[in-house]
Structure 1
């Protein structure tokens, strides 16, 4: 009997034979089940027609490549898909467990979906400049990678509901408004309205795990565990059927020519137009409180951790008895008439934070220096604090340059053998600026606008400081 050699590992096949493939090649069962290798008949094996009610990618490792095939089908020409593939996708439905509810007699469905199902079936209708069609923005790679890191590292991987359209779908009730949304397993059947960046994060994570699996030839148990955890993740999803909505609108206006994409675009516009971003100062406060609670792994916080370190110090500067009491808007609440946004004050401290000496200070020492520094400023320019509306010092254009100058004063004090934590010593240096004009009517600072303006303001303060220092 002729020996059959595995075309993948080169060993004689003594057990189950798979093939033949192109050029009359065969593979052994071990290689066939290797998740890093793909063979077309894996599709039929993984998804036998009529044997699965829904797309189930939870435990079968070779389905990594099946997902890839779906993704390729979504991008390419469906006519090139193999006969096996066409048979599979024409006979299988995805069953999404949902709860039906109504808003103004428009049926909506809230349910859950797994990442593999989302990756296989989702698509976006991207804005086309030439055709003036579509509505979605491009995926932002950096944002996708942030979401990937969040999913990997954060102990609280909270993913808000994705909003999507399923044009070709039917609702099958099980009990009252509970049931399943059925739609053919086919690339593009789930059109993302809101959530493409989150979906992009799952794409990034899938490709990373797949790459790791392909690299390892021996113990892949940890990677397999990560993969299974990824596949079992449940994503909340709000679904609309635009065709049902169009039917409802036709009852009111039979001449209407509304298309599914028009419904989806309208949802997209309303969602993005009516959402208001969280105030930047409140974001800084929430980032600090989140880290203080011991919750880590959120990329938006991790990449600017220094801000969260400075927030409690700025909070202290705003308390009663502190030099900036009542002047800092900590959470961005309107109507408080506080001229200094916390987020701006924190941003203006970046040069000081990067100073080696200040960076090594404890939190108490950082607060002591800044409290002494701004107490000295208040002593030299009391009128600017008593009548803040008439002066620029406690506005962004004055606060930024003053905090930048704190680095020069700190370094000079150390050079002179002075104690930067001694308020009286700090005062003697700040006093050199006593002739600076901060009036909103006559000050040169009133012409300084934006980031470049604060840079010019700092240069003016710096020139004045060193000139007066040279004359003492």
Structure 2
């Protein structure tokens, strides 16, 4: 009722809501703990409770108030699909501030937090996109219930499963934290939103994203283990198919041995990030012939192709710092061109899996200068630059055919 009225803009004050639910409280078993003297509580909450009671203090450009970013609909839908389809729909803890509450200890640091069921009483600090995913799931289930009344039992089962889901939540009581801060620093004007904003900043500023190469490796290992339904993996599933091939290209006996940084680790002196190499293979992956190849045949073609490249441009592999070929600006165009060379070889009746057959096609580009100081590719940067690099490479190749 509350969600529907809020969406339509008809529900104007919390007093009506308070009367409706007769001043009831949500009771959450919690563990109280302390970090540098600041009291924090960790417990669990169900989606329905979170949707009714949570609010987001979004950044306002005109008033310079708030702190949260906008909800991202696409991200919310991804989380909804994750909750529906993944075998392990693990939702990390949400961090929130509770405006009105009371902690009732039962033993030592264990106890119960009583939170009045008032809309907006829980302010989300970290977790609005996850909460948005539950919003999307709730409305989808409700919509299905209206459209498919003949499948009422099945929809009720889904709704019951939705209601049983438990979300870990770390709660801060800003008033308690303000009291502690005032004892230490004599702060008089600090407000709850100031505390929430500080937590939000610390959480988002101190988190370091996992490297893109490591994400690709982890996605591949996750799918290999048989775990599916993770939207971030499923929407770029083609990458998972290519990761094990690129892993093999980095092994001894491959022309690219030791040149690919598989996990994005720093200090390895390997010029080709796995994630960049995988991305650059998309035009080749979309080639019907290459796509129809087995994994072993895909690997053979790439070994033959890059083996021929290394044979034509040996200095670029011996002195990688002095040449652009094994850097992003060179590797992207070369991998894009591989799809064109594959088509040309098939038209000529050649075997793309043999380096000796690939070599004459790469030799047509033998007069290109890949040196850092003189190459015409040296001015290209970014995705547009790699695209222009491919155009130049293709022009040079077509002139020689």
- C-alpha distance after superposition, 1:22-54 (max 9, x if no partner): xxxxxxxxxxxxxxxxxxxxxxxxxxxxxxxxx
Q: Which has the higher contact order (CA 8 A, sep 6+)?
A: 2
Q: Say which of 277, 282, 286 aligns to 1:350.
A: 282
**Structure 2 residue runs without a partner (length 5+):** none
Conserved? CA contact 1:285–1:311, under 8 Å: yes
Distance 1:219 1:311, change over 3 A: closer
2:174, 2:328 → 1: CA distance? 48
Q: Distance in 1 between matches of 2:7 and 2:233?
A: 35
Q: Supply the distance in 2 between the matched residues of 1:117 and 1:410 (Cα, whole angstroms).
A: 57
Match of 1:123 among 38, 49, 55: 55
SS of aligned partner of 1:414: helix
Give the alignment of 1:335-346 within 5 angstroms: 335-346=267-278
Q: Any idea what SS the aligned residue of 2:193 has? A: helix
Q: 1:452 Cα shift?
A: 1.5
User: Structure 2 CA distance, aligned partners of 1:186 and 1:422?
Assistant: 70
Q: Whole-Å Cα distance in 1 between the matches of residues 238 and 275 of structure 2?
A: 12
Residue in 2 aligned with 1:137? 69
1:445 matches 2:380? no
> 1:73 Cα shift?
9.6
Matching residue of 2:25 = 93
Q: Give, in whole Å, the separation in 1 of the partners of 2:53 and 2:264.
A: 41
After the TM superposition, which segments of 4 or more aligned residues of structure 1 sit over 3 Å from their partners?
65-69, 71-76
Normalization by structure 2: what TM-score?
0.97
The C-alpha deviation readout for 1:188-240, integer Å capped at 9, x for no partner, is: 00000000000000000000001111113334111100100010000000000
Look up the SS of the partner of 2:180 in the other structure.
Answer: helix
Task: Provide closer, same or farther for how the CA distance between residues 192 and 72 of structure 1 changes in structure 2, counting only shifts above 3 A.
Answer: same
**What's the secondary structure of 2:105's corresponding residue?**
strand
Corresponding position: 1:249 with 2:181: yes
Residue 113 (structure 2) aligns with? 181
Q: 1:152 to 1:79 in 2, by over 3 A?
A: closer
Residues 396-437 of structure 1: per-residue CA shift (max 9 Å, x gap): 000000001101100000111111112210111111111010
Question: In the comparison of the two structures, how many residue pairs are matched?
Answer: 401
Out of 183, 189, 194, which is 1:262 matched to? 194
Residue 451 to residue 66, structure 1, CA distance change in 2 (3 Å): closer
Q: Which residue of 2 aligns with 1:311?
A: 243
Separation (CA, whole Å) in 1 of partners of 2:175 and 2:34: 15
> 8 Å contact 1:67–1:116 — kept in the other structure?
no
Q: Is the 1:90–1:184 contact (alpha carbons within 8 Å) kept by the matching residues of 2?
A: no
Task: Give the equivalent residue in structure 2 for 1:370.
Answer: 302
- 1:66-465 to 2 correspondences below 5 Å: 68-69=4-5, 71=6, 76-78=11-13, 81=16, 85-89=17-21, 91-465=23-397
CA contact (8 A) 2:47 2:165 kept: yes
In structure 1, distance between residues paired with 2:118 and 2:15: 15
CA distance in 2, matches of 1:347, 1:224: 43
SS of aligned partner of 1:345: helix
**Unmatched tracts of structure 1, length 5 or more:** 1-64
